[in-house]
Structure 1
Amino acid sequence: MKAHPKEQLRLLELAQVDARQARLQHLAKNMPEQLHLVEIEQDRRDRRAASAKALGELEDAQSELKTIQDDSRMVAERRKRDEDRLQHASSTKDIAALQAELATIARRQETLDDQELEQLERVEALTAAHAERLASMREIETLAADLLERRDLARENLRTEAKEIAADRKTLVDGLPADLVALYEDRRKRGGIGAAELVGKVSTASQETIEMADLARIAKAPADEIVFCPDTDAILVRTERSAI
């Protein structure tokens, strides 16, 4: 197949555009921000679970404290009623019964006071634990939010660059013969590189020095004849930098 040397040079431009596109696609799949988000996702789940667990334990303890305080209030009300009844009691039997009941209430109140104090300490400890877990969760969620924002901004920049690359590629392809583009695309599908420059005696497709026999054959080929890299089958474009 033949193609004007200038058209072959434009294939190198097309290959550069495709290389840019490949790098862009690789970057889109391996964005540092996205990789970091994946790395911290399990930690995020663990911290959210720890915060939720700490909150549940705190709420249970607060509920238990409220129950104790409600019981204590009812006992205090009962004691006040009995003390009022004792002041007006005239029967020895009634007085003895009220005094016995007040003694029982006093013991019950003492028990509730001890339980309330113990529960208050537990609530205080669980409040501190929950605050610590919550702060830990918020810390990593702040990091995640920052990563998400930077990832989305990077994605937008990538989309803008991808549009520019697509426009550049279309301009190049529209300016080349269809059969030459088809050949380029076929070679690119085979080895990932459609066209490469011969620099000195080295094919930039393989980064290998071409053997003398192949180099001699390439040197004899007319300038408008398409030649190929012996190692990769990419279109090999001869330029002023080629040692032939």
Structure 2
Amino acid sequence: MKAAPAAQLRLLDLQTVDTALAQLAHRRRSLPEIAELDALARELSKLEDERVRAQVAVDDLDRDIARLESDTDQVRARKRKDEDRLVGGGLPARELTALQHEVESLTRRQGELEDAELALMEQREQAQANLDGVTERLSATRANRDEAQRRHDETLAGISRDEEFHRTARQAVVADLPGDLVSLYLKVQDSAGVMAAALVQGGRCGGCRIEFSGSERARLKAAAADEITRCEDCRRIMVRTSESGL
């Protein structure tokens, strides 16, 4: 295949644009915010589970405290009723004695219930503090996630702008090149990767950086300026200039 030396040089412009696009694609895939967002998502899931457990602990204690308060109120009401009967007088001695014993028993029971309720209230205070701490950490982590997402989106927007710029430039370069040269370039890209065309410098292929053998150097030196040459080792298109060291 033949192409004018100017077209071969222009092919390097296409390679430059494609390399830039490949670098932008790699940057898009490997943004540090991606790993940060993944880590924050795991942390948020962990904290949310912890928050649910802490909330359940508070709710369970509230339910137990409410039950004890109800029991205590019932004991107080019954005790008050018995005390009113004692104050009212007129009871037979045996019934009076039994009523006094019941008031004493209810007093002890009320004390037990109040002590149990106090213990639960202390536990509830600690459980609430734990819930508040988890909620605070959850809020801070969400703020960190939102900030990381903002940076991620902002960086992606910049990458998208750069990609659009290079795609526009690529279209202009391709329009300047012969169709068969572009077809060969794309074919080489399929097998060699992003770099399909490389400048020959210092007697080396700019793609694989392998120094030419004597026979390879002679072959390239003898080739016409408009002949498309390819590296024997990496098969990339080699672009020769007066500074190629041949």
**Alignment TM-score, normalising by the size of structure 2:** 0.93
Question: Which structure features the higher share of strand residues?
Answer: 1
Of 12-21 and 126-135, the range deviating more from structure 2 = 126-135
In the alignment, which residue of structure 1 is the partner of 2:50?
A: 50
Three-state SS of the structure 2 residue aligned to 1:210 is coil
Is 1:69 the counterpart of 2:49 in the alignment? Answer: no
Pairing 1:87-126 to 2, within 5 Å after superposition:
87-92=87-92, 93-126=94-127
Is 1:164 the counterpart of 2:133 in the alignment? Answer: no
In the alignment, which residue of structure 2 is the partner of 1:199?
A: 201
- Structure 2: segments with no counterpart, 5+ residues: none
What is the identity, as a one-letter code, of the residue corresponding to 1:169?
Answer: R
- Deviation digits for residues 131-162 of structure 1 (CA, Å, limit 9, x no counterpart): 22222333332222221111111111122111
Q: Kindly indicate whether structure 1 or structure 2 has the higher relative contact order, using CA contacts under 8 Å at least 6 residues apart.
A: 2
- TM-superposed CA distance for 1:74, in Å, is 2.3
- TM-superposed CA distance for 1:103, in Å, is 1.3
- TM-superposed CA distance for 1:216, in Å, is 1.4
- TM-superposed CA distance for 1:112, in Å, is 0.6
- TM-superposed CA distance for 1:8, in Å, is 0.6
Of 31-40 and 101-110, the range deviating more from structure 2 = 31-40
Distance in 2 between residues matched to 1:180 and 1:236, nearest whole Å: 12
Pairing 1:170-189 to 2, within 5 Å after superposition:
170-189=171-190
In the alignment, which residue of structure 2 is the partner of 1:15?
A: 15
Distance in 2 between residues matched to 1:171 and 1:76, nearest whole Å: 92
In the alignment, which residue of structure 1 is the partner of 2:222?
A: 220
Three-state SS of the structure 2 residue aligned to 1:112 is helix
- TM-superposed CA distance for 1:94, in Å, is 4.2
* Contact 1:210/1:230 (<8 A) preserved: no
Three-state SS of the structure 2 residue aligned to 1:236 is strand
In the alignment, which residue of structure 1 is the partner of 2:128?
A: 127
Distance in 1 between residues matched to 2:89 and 2:171, nearest whole Å: 107
Distance in 2 between residues matched to 1:85 and 1:183, nearest whole Å: 110
Three-state SS of the structure 1 residue aligned to 2:129 is helix
Distance in 2 between residues matched to 1:91 and 1:74, nearest whole Å: 24
Three-state SS of the structure 2 residue aligned to 1:21 is helix
- TM-superposed CA distance for 1:32, in Å, is 0.7
Aligned-residue RMSD, C-alpha: 1.6
Distance in 1 between residues matched to 2:86 and 2:113, nearest whole Å: 23
Three-state SS of the structure 2 residue aligned to 1:202 is coil
- Deviation digits for residues 214-237 of structure 1 (CA, Å, limit 9, x no counterpart): 111111111111111222111100
State, as a whole percentage, how many aligned pairs show the same letter.
29
What is the identity, as a one-letter code, of the residue corresponding to 1:125?
Answer: Q
Between Structure 1 and Structure 2, how many residues are aligned? Answer: 244
Three-state SS of the structure 2 residue aligned to 1:208 is coil
What is the identity, as a one-letter code, of the residue corresponding to 1:148?
Answer: Q
Distance in 1 between residues matched to 2:34 and 2:232, nearest whole Å: 40
* Contact 1:69/1:116 (<8 A) preserved: yes
In the alignment, which residue of structure 2 is the partner of 1:236?
A: 238
What is the identity, as a one-letter code, of the residue corresponding to 1:108?
Answer: R
- Structure 1: segments with no counterpart, 5+ residues: none
Is 1:3 the counterpart of 2:8 in the alignment? Answer: no
